[in-house]
A and B are shown apart, each in its own frame.
Chain A
């Protein structure tokens, strides 16, 4: 219950900000931060709970973005439809990836996801309908009532998706699915022996995680009003999605949220202050420091500093 109240409050705050704040910068920057929260949360379902490292975030994200473009170009359907279509397509890609790679573990799975990313990018480089390598400029339609500007609308939509993603992650974490995934992470054989259907669970986690990443990618073409393969399948998305849970903590659904908020806020700030290579360096150093010194992430540190009895 507390979770729902607080997420309702957070969402209401976002809507309130959209209604009152005139300064668009906060929405542009906030959108990016929220997008990384969704990506990190999605990544953590597979990476954090089940222990499968996914380098293929750009594949799912990019497929979502391109699905949205195709839907928009072919039918001019509204944003919500684009997002749903993107989630379905990327979910299917996740399903297929899960099926194909279900026998793979650890780094093998990670390599497979790199391969999926390269193949997806090659596919869209060669597909002229979505502009191919030259990219495609899109004319944004007018924002839907009650929004006055498109970016506040995108911001609120992304805020809603963030709440949804966190709720899904939380449900998975606290239900039998999460227990099963954790069992897989600790020992796949033991999980299998104790009657956990590891295969189904893994494919499920892969599909859900992919679908969420796709949904996060769907509004991107409208955010940029432009799409092009090289930047859509950019490694940055993989870095952000992987680093955030490592920094925040992988065990709890709040971990990736905290990590993503901190990491992408730092990146946004560094971009408009120091403005240099340090941006990438920040991620690298934080990542190494946290996995070495604080394997449980920020949440783990907090737990260590303020020990609390389990309720």
Chain B
């Protein structure tokens, strides 16, 4: 009797487990900075990925299996990501991998995925595949190399007949990569550098540097800064002024894409020309629907309520995986990578084609100018025209207004 029961239980358990195996979800694994310097952006991106998982499961999943997202917090600390990704691969046995947001946390896992020959969907990192040259790397960021970032800015500067340029760059990984690209472009464009300063990450106040820029009388000022510094720099500019000579100001300021910062700075933003990934008014199929659904989730999750910068591109990662898996009916990384290389991906951030290095073949970094911004109003940023697209040409909604100090008034 006892034995029978035991047997029954064992058979039951077996049946259950085999049934579970058939329905075992497709696991998508990643680490995402949810604390540390990139934490705010990471949390918003995670909401978007979670939305994709819900959407795809509502449609019945992929290959008739549910999709499950496993995301750990890497605290924006690259020392943690190798262990997290091996955990994902060897313990959680995930089927697909997405890279953490940012270049520094991604860099340490590149050798791992190359060694094991895995597909990795990049997440707003910058040229992280340059030395590793992995053929199954696909970045979601609308830039490829450093020049793709700043050429829109420099081109507009040339249109205004600028001759001289000033650089102000944070002494940190991302900003320095950009700065080096921008310096080369400026040299090619025949712009004379009249001021070039790298400031340390712990700088308390920027008044002195803005003052020095003013006395250098440059035609354009290219700034590459991190969120906290961006706020301090914009404030200092507002107080000290950069002078009548400056036609354009901005370029690579990280943070001016994030809603809390945009709404804190308010009218101080006017006139600044800065990079972005998406601004309202760009006609991508499905993005408006995504953003309105995201807005509701964001309030619950207490993350960036507008979410223009990172979330749509994270949703796009999901869409690309979905498209590749549905088209190939496979989870084999080789097959998926081949599909991603060959075909155009249809996403809410527009069509994407990949170059051999796994970056976008046609980069689409937006350079947009803030105009008519008033203080303390988050909703205004949803309207097209508050950020006028100057570049790329295909999405252009206006011409750059100059000089900088005049546009601010």
Binding site for B on A (CB under 8 A): 23-25, 27-29, 32, 122, 125-126, 132-135, 137-140, 149, 151, 220, 223-226, 228, 230-231, 234, 236, 268, 271-272, 275-277, 279-280
Contacts and interface: CB of A to CB of B under 8 A. Distances in A.
A29 B175 CA distance: 31
A275 B72 contact: yes
Interface stretch (B106-114, B317-325, B375-383): B106-114
A226 B77 contact: no
Interface stretch (B85-93, B331-339, B355-363): B85-93
B86 A133 contact: no
A275 B78 contact: no
A268 B34 contact: no
A228 B131 CA distance: 15
Contacts of B201: 230
Contact of A137 (B35, B73, B91, B130): B130
B24 interface: no
B177 interface: yes
A132 to B, nearest CB: 7
B133 to A, nearest CB: 10
Interface of B: 34-35, 71-75, 77-80, 82-84, 86-87, 89-91, 104, 107-108, 110-111, 115, 128, 130-132, 170-173, 175-177, 180, 198, 200-201
Contacts of B90: 23-25
A231 B87 contact: no
Q: Identify whether the interface residues of A are mostly helix, strand, loop, or mixed.
A: helix
Nearest to A29: B83
Contacts of B72: 271-272, 275
11 contacts: A24-B90, A25-B89, A32-B83, A133-B176, A134-B173, A225-B110, A271-B74, A271-B75, A271-B84, A276-B34, A276-B35
A101 B247 CA distance: 52
Contacts of B87: 25, 28-29, 272
A271 B91 contact: no
A65 to B, nearest CB: 11
Max chain B Cβ within 10 angstroms of own Cβ: one of A268, A272, A276? A272
Contacts of B171: 125-126, 133
A226 B83 contact: no
Contacts of B128: 137
A225 B83 CA distance: 13
Contact of A224 (B73, B79, B200): B79
Contacts of B35: 276-277, 279-280
B172 A230 contact: yes
Contacts, number: 110
Contacts of B86: 24-25, 27-29, 151
Nearest to B115: A149
Contacts of A268: 83
Contacts of A225: 107-108, 110-111
Nearest to A267: B80
B45 to A, nearest CB: 15
Contact of B82 (A132, A224, A230): A224
A228 B173 CA distance: 7
A134 B180 contact: yes
A256 to B, nearest CB: 20
Contact of A276 (B73, B107, B108): B73
Contacts of B73: 271, 275-276, 279
A28 B86 CA distance: 7
Given A133-B171, A137-B130, A275 B77 contact: no
A296 to B, nearest CB: 31
Contacts of B170: 133
A148 to B, nearest CB: 11
Contacts of A279: 35, 73, 75
A135 B104 contact: yes
Contact of B132 (A27, A32, A137, A275): A137
Nearest to B75: A279
A95 to B, nearest CB: 27
Contact of A28 (B83, B111, B177): B83
A177 B12 CA distance: 66
B208 to A, nearest CB: 18
A275 B173 contact: no
A231 B79 contact: yes
Nearest to B39: A277
B107 A133 contact: no
Contacts of B78: 224, 226, 228, 231
Contacts of B175: 133
Contacts of B89: 24-25
Nearest to B116: A24
B111 A140 contact: yes
A234 B105 CA distance: 14
B113 to A, nearest CB: 11
Given A137-B132, A231-B104, A272-B87, 17 more contacts: A23-B91, A24-B90, A25-B83, A25-B91, A27-B86, A32-B83, A137-B130, A149-B115, A223-B82, A228-B173, A230-B104, A230-B201, A236-B77, A271-B72, A271-B75, A272-B72, A279-B35
Nearest to A32: B83
Nearest to B76: A231
B176 A28 contact: no
Contacts of A275: 34, 71-73
Contacts of A236: 77, 79
Nearest to A125: B171
Contact of A32 (B79, B131, B177): B79
